[in-house]
Structure 1
Amino acid sequence: MRGLKAIFGLLAAAAALAGPAQAAPWTVKREQAAAEARFLASDALQGRGSATRDEAIAAAYVAAQFEGFGLTPAPGQAGFFQTAKVIKPRLQGEAKVRIDGVDVAGAQLLIGPMGDVGGKAVVFAADDVMTMPAAEVVISTSKASPLTVGQTAMSKQVKLLILKESFLTKGLYAAQGGTDMASYLEGTPQGVRTAVATLPAEAFERLAAHPGASVDLKLPPMTRETAITTNAIGYLKGRDPKAGTLVVSAHLDHLGVRPNGTIMHGANDDASGMVAVIELARAFTAGKPPKRSILFIGYGSEEIGKYGSTWFAAHPSVPLAEIVAAIEFEMVGQQDPKLPKGALFVTGSERSTLMGALKAHGAPVAPDSDPAQHYFERSDNWPLAQAGVVAHTLAGWTTTPTYHQASDTFESLDLTFLTGAIQSMVSPLRWLADSDFRPAWIAGGRPPP
């Protein structure tokens, strides 16, 4: 017995000399990530349509995970949910496109504006979409994809974009169940939204040959439905109340169910990002609390206008000045083959010092691969960035082959990449949560409010 006591004594002394024991590296379990993604992208959640009961169920699931890990409601909140009202207009008839005061037969409205719009038509024919003029009405004959042309028109604040009717535009109209009208948050400015309409080939060619024509879009009467969008928010209190707060987020919603009954499961977009947030919350609650506090968030209604994140930015759980950085995970279930193996790209990476700091501490991050696509402005980081917070999105691949397609199912996910992507961010984010480093905007990088 004395011999054993002596041995134990020597072991204790050696441990004391070695200093405090180091926590074992956290391991993200593939089976847990798979189970979460499988549920969020399941038939049961019906595609998690924005501001629907299915989105609310997804939020309840995420909140239950947060609570189970030991997260608490955010400061000043009674529970794990933040809700906002979304107003959804519905047309009570057909919209009309008029050229020089004459209705055009066969015109079809794909994306509706807030009200009647019009102006003098400008023809845009270039393949480089960034050369599109900021005109009131643009007639696009560009060979660029309609999606890219439409996104550029929105960024240029074009009031009305006219495209030639095609198999693609007809399919989009059918898939979305008619005109996609602009919803908006109750009590907030409705802003500017580009209307997109198509014309039959003959009418389109005639208009394209006569730039300067007066083109007007007239809307029928509308009704307005009220829906609720839900953010799920969990809070991990840090050791130092003066060190600030990090935001780690993804969006809960996707495109719901199409009128033909097709479920848009949204496994990569963005069940994969939500899994990343859940698993990072699991990792950070398993050990010693970090120096900085962390808000883990699942935003609602990203797909119809980033409404959950917009509401949060206007009603933050902590003062915006206390938020050191915000990191959104978007579509991390597949990897762009053009990226280095295992890498995530950072939208708007050139705008701040955040990417360089994360990379210096082991994050496999890469610069924004295509700034011309404006990915920085198209995800839930944007409302916080507009409010001055250094906020970026990490993504594996943006416009994947399954993007906004019925094929974006659980089976399409690369679980090895998904698990590895989450794993790769545990240590860099732990460093950020324990450090004194505060990322900053590079000159000219901060977006205007």
Structure 2
Amino acid sequence: MRNILTAIAITALTVSPALSQTAAPISRVDVLAAERALAGPEMRGRGSGTTDEARAADWVAAQFKAAGLQPAPGMASYLQAAPIVRRTATGVPTLTVDGTAIGGVGILTTDGGTLGGKAVVVNAIGDGVPVADVLVYTGPADGLSQVRRAARGKVKLIVTAESDTTRRYLAATGGKPQLRTTLEGGGAWSGVALATLPADALAKIKPGDTVSLDVPFAAQKGVTTNAIAYLPGTDPTAGVILLSAHLDHLGVRPDGVMMPGANDDASGTVAVIELTRTFATMGPAKRGILFVAYGSEELGGLGSTWFGQHPPIALDRIVANIELEMIGAQDAKLPKGSLMMTGAERSDLFQMLKANGALVARDPYPDQHFFERSDNYSLALKGIVAHTLSGWVGPTYHQPTDTVENLDIDYMTAAINSLVAPIRKLADGGFTPRWTADGRPSAGR
């Protein structure tokens, strides 16, 4: 191991002597060109775990190679494949209450097969969600997403009343149950199955009733792909910085509509690529930098989870992770020009970035739990100080309108440029981020 580390250090030190400690600003032209490549029609929305995602990963890997970066230590290429299991429904779902079948069931998401148990009925979650096999949620439809997040790890199945929102979701998926795709052998984020019933049918379920949901399914193996590149540092003992984004999106819907994902998250992937090019032209830093574009974030963080299980560099060498997610337009609640940093209060990284010129602000939506909803969370659960930087704009989120034309390229370019100096300072090794006293997350927090 000592000889390998020495070789890496020598490689870093023998990079072209013409390189300087500064780099030309990232240009609007380059940002726009990369956005058009990733979010254009040729990529067909980069659907998670599809050949379109693989094509996008190949394109990102080509950009890494063209920038002059290396594959990560121990990797023969710039691509890391992760085996996944995709499930599809093969029959009509059934939901029973105390053995009696209830009509009108709609399945938004599940692993498939049979699950259920005793029902707990709630109208609001108040101080939290109770631990239960089945949670019957009778509250307002706009509170469902909060209930789902709070139920992770506590509840197997949520049953709620159908609404305009759930009907639109089912229409977009062709009315077919959406069965979760997982890593082969498990290891994805924990999820909660969600089923709907007509309001009158839901009202008949009482606390303590036995609810059972059965969804016949078939399983098919597949692959999701991460693109990874490495810029060595001069000191193999100083640690590594991880810059990441996710390259996948929602692909082409069953109704034939393409979901471009220009903001979510072609924008973050473009930022990683542009930072790759920038840091490759600068003189070597003390710390190495690992650049990763994950696959299948939209399926529950599968690519980042696999990366955390099979890191090309030992996780205890990664001193910080900055995830870039939806940075292509600015939310109205953010200070002008700023990106929000999720979980800013959890570590001292926010203060360091801001003090060194990063256009960052605290998350104005703490109730949305964005910290737990991006790929940084997979790494944070491993103990790495990991946060997401985002511009977050809701109207185009998971909509066909998430196009290049709806991005603010000037804002995006300025935001990326503002990160160069603080990340370089972080890579130079004078600062190591730390969790605050209660900042390090555990599952569900």
Q: TM-score, normalised by structure 2?
A: 0.91
The offset of 1:144, in angstroms, is 5.2
CA distance in 2, matches of 1:206, 1:416: 54
Whether 1:301 and 2:301 are equivalent positions in the alignment is no
Provide the rounded CA distance (Å) in 2 between the counterparts of 1:130 and 1:31.
49
Which residue pairs with 1:401 in the alignment?
Answer: 395
Matched residue of 2:286: which SS?
coil
Which structure 2 residue ranges, 5 or more long, are not aligned?
1-17
2: distance between equivalents of 1:361 and 1:123? 50
1:204 aligns to what?
202
Does residue 434 in structure 1 map to residue 428 in structure 2?
yes
- C-alpha distance in 2 between matches for 1:434 and 1:236: 13
Instruction: Specify the alignment match of 1:227 in structure 2.
Output: 222
2:372 to 366, 371, 377: 377
Q: Which amino acid aligns with 1:79?
A: S
Q: Is the 8 A contact 1:253 1:270 kept in 2?
A: yes
The aligned counterpart of 1:78 is 76
Call closer, same or farther: CA 1:45–1:182 in 2, change over 3 Å: same
SS for the counterpart of 2:45 is coil
Residue of structure 1 equivalent to 2:251: 256
1:121 alignment counterpart: 119
Q: Which amino acid letter does the alignment assign opposite residue 440 of structure 2? A: R
Cα separation, 2, equivalents of 1:211 and 1:430:
57
- Decide which of 134, 137, 141 is 1:140's aligned counterpart: 137
> SS at 2:363's partner residue?
coil
Farther-moved stretch of structure 1 (112-121 vs 249-258)? 112-121
Query: What are the residue-to-residue correspondences of 1:182-193 with 2, within 5 Å?
Result: 182-189=180-187, 192-193=190-191
Residue number in structure 1 paired with 2:343: 348
Do the aligned residues in 2 keep the contact of 1:129 with 1:152 (CA within 8 Å)? no
Q: 8 Å contact 2:129–2:154 — kept in the other structure?
A: no
> Contact between 1:157 and 1:193, CA under 8 Å: does it hold in 2?
no
**1:360 maps to what in 2?**
355
For residues 181-220 of structure 1, the C-alpha deviation after alignment (integer angstroms, 9 at most, x for no partner) is 111111335674311111112212333xx33322211222
Match of 2:317 among 314, 317, 322: 322
Residue 172 of structure 2 is aligned with which of 175, 182, 198?
Answer: 175
Moved more, 344-353 or 261-270: 344-353
Cα distance in 2 for partners of 1:61, 1:444 equals: 40
Map of 1:36 onto structure 2: 34
Greater Cα offset, 73-82 or 365-374? 365-374
For the 8 Å contact 1:122–1:138, the answer to whether it is kept is: yes
The aligned amino acid for 2:160 is L
Contact 2:129/2:151 (CA < 8 Å) preserved in 1?
Answer: no
- Give the aligned partner of residue 65 of structure 2: 67
Asked if the contact 1:243–1:436 (Cα under 8 Å) also holds between the matched residues in 2, the reply is no
RMSD over aligned Cα atoms: 2.0
Cα distance change on mapping 1:150 and 1:172 into 2, 3 Å: farther
Equivalent pairs, count: 425
Q: Aligned equivalents of 2:189 and 2:40: distance in 1?
A: 34
Determine which of 39, 44, 56 is the counterpart of 1:46: 44
Moved more, 427-436 or 248-257: 427-436
In structure 1, how many angstroms separate the alpha carbons of the residues matched to 2:32 and 2:343? 29
What secondary structure, in the 3-state scheme, does the structure 2 residue paired with 1:123 have?
strand
- The answer to which of 253-262 and 22-31 deviates more is 22-31
- Counterpart of 1:233, as a letter, is I
Does 2:140 match 1:151? no
Opposite residue 119 of structure 1, the aligned amino acid is: G
Structure 1 residues 156 and 129: CA distance shift in structure 2, 3 A: farther
Following the alignment from structure 1 to structure 2, what is the Cα–Cα distance between the partners of residues 444 and 24? 37
Of 399, 405, 412, which aligns to 1:418? Answer: 412
| Structure-2 separation of matches of 1:368 and 1:113 | 32
Does the 8 A contact of 2:244 with 2:272 survive in 1? yes
Shift of 1:135: 2.6
Residue 212 (structure 2) pairs with residue 216 (structure 1): yes
Output the amino acid matched with 2:215: L
Residue pair 2:23, 2:279 contacting (<8 A) in 1 also: no
Displacement after TM superposition at 1:376 (Å): 1.3
Paired amino acid for 1:187: G
Matched position secondary structure for 1:57: helix
CA distance in 1, matches of 2:95, 2:189: 22
Contact 2:130–2:154 (CA<8 Å) still a contact in 1?
no
State the secondary structure of the residue aligned to 2:357: coil
Paired with 1:373 and 1:157, the residues of 2 have a C-alpha distance of 18
Evaluate the alpha carbon distance shift between residue 252 and residue 107 of structure 1 in structure 2; reply closer, same or farther with a 3 A threshold.
same
- 2: CA distance between counterparts of 1:353 and 1:201? 47
Ranges in structure 1 where 5+ consecutive residues have no aligned partner: 1-19
Instruction: Go from structure 1 to structure 2 and tell me whether the alpha carbon gap of 1:23 and 1:446 turns closer, same or farther (over 3 Å shift).
Output: closer
Residue type of the partner of 1:415? Answer: I
Find the structure with the greater CA-based Rg: 1
Go from structure 1 to structure 2 and tell me whether the alpha carbon gap of 1:159 and 1:264 turns closer, same or farther (over 3 Å shift): same
1:260-275 matches, cutoff 5 A? 260-275=255-270
Contact 2:23 2:281 in 1 (8 A): no
Q: TM-score, normalised by structure 1?
A: 0.90
| Matched-pair contact (CA < 8 Å) for 1:148–1:373 | no
Structure 1 match to 2:306: 311
Q: Counterparts of 2:151 and 2:241 in 1: how far apart (Å)?
A: 30
Measured at CA, do residues 71 and 77 of structure 1 come closer, stay the same or move farther in structure 2, by a change above 3 Å? same
Output the CA distance in 1 between the equivalents of 2:49 and 2:101: 35
